[in-house]
Amino acid sequence: MALTQVSSNKCAGGFQKVFEHESTELKCKMKFAVYLPPKAETDKCPVMYWLSGLTCTEQNFITKAGSQLTAAEHGLIIVAPDTSPRGCSIEGEDESWDFGTGAGFYVDATQEPWKTNYCMYSYITEELPKLINANFPTDPDKMSISGHSMGGHGALICALKNPGKYKAVSAFAPICNPMQCPWGQKAFSGYLGSDRSTWEAYDATVLAASYSGPQLDILIDQGRDDQFLSASQLLPDNLIAVCSEKKIPVVFRLQPGYDHSYFFIYSFINDHIKHHAKYLNA
């Protein structure tokens, strides 16, 4: 589990770093970003995982979201992995922006030719936390998860599929019901095959309907002028309806004038980090 440091920059009193490692789950080299707050020099810190959206790498969040000052203030380590395996020489992996490279959808693929490498769900929930806990001053019992768009979908399913593992979950403009939207249908058909019953294990709306675990307080921000909201890719109403039926607490904020971009994330990231800190530092 050797790590190679790719970059390190002093930031908000701590360090924003990027590392590379050979992934056993994904069978390729993977990069991840890690923000180490000043507190990490002397104490163990909780970890918030951030999952990015379609086409992103580990770079987008750390350069655009402006998360470091608030993470430093609350003593949180933030880990931002890549969004898919890279350079696996799979035919068709670079053909479209919403499938293959940069679009791992945080599932474990069962279909050829994807199933050997495209195991992002296991990478995020198993391999990466072990790697982080072995190499950084973490409190291994205190982790949470957040993300944007495809990564918001990833954050929600990771929390709902693993009751008690994540102390908090939040999302920006998540794909809430992928079985019912074009992005999800394309990805799930390719990675999981044509049997739609296998898709249910990775759909937050379906998972929420059968959730029985410790209380999970979900925070979701959604831009009202998000072009993908109006294109019915995100479908937050479906998730909210199920959560209210199941009495799963959701704070859903529809933010007037905001779109799907990192300008939107930058505007509200502090609220999300505070939401996570409330549960991680309890």
Which residues are marked as active site? 149, 226, 260
Residue entry with tokens 């002028």: 225
- Host H or E run for residue 78: strand 77-81
- CA–CA gap between residue 9 and residue 118 (Å, rounded): 30
Q: What are phi and psi of 218, to 5 degrees?
A: -100, 130
Render the burial of 247-266: b for 16+ CB within 10 Å, e for the rest. ebebebeebeebbbebebbe
- CA–CA gap between residue 109 and residue 276 (Å, rounded): 30
Please, are residues 84 and 154 in contact by the beta-carbon 8 Å criterion?
no
- CA–CA gap between residue 173 and residue 228 (Å, rounded): 9
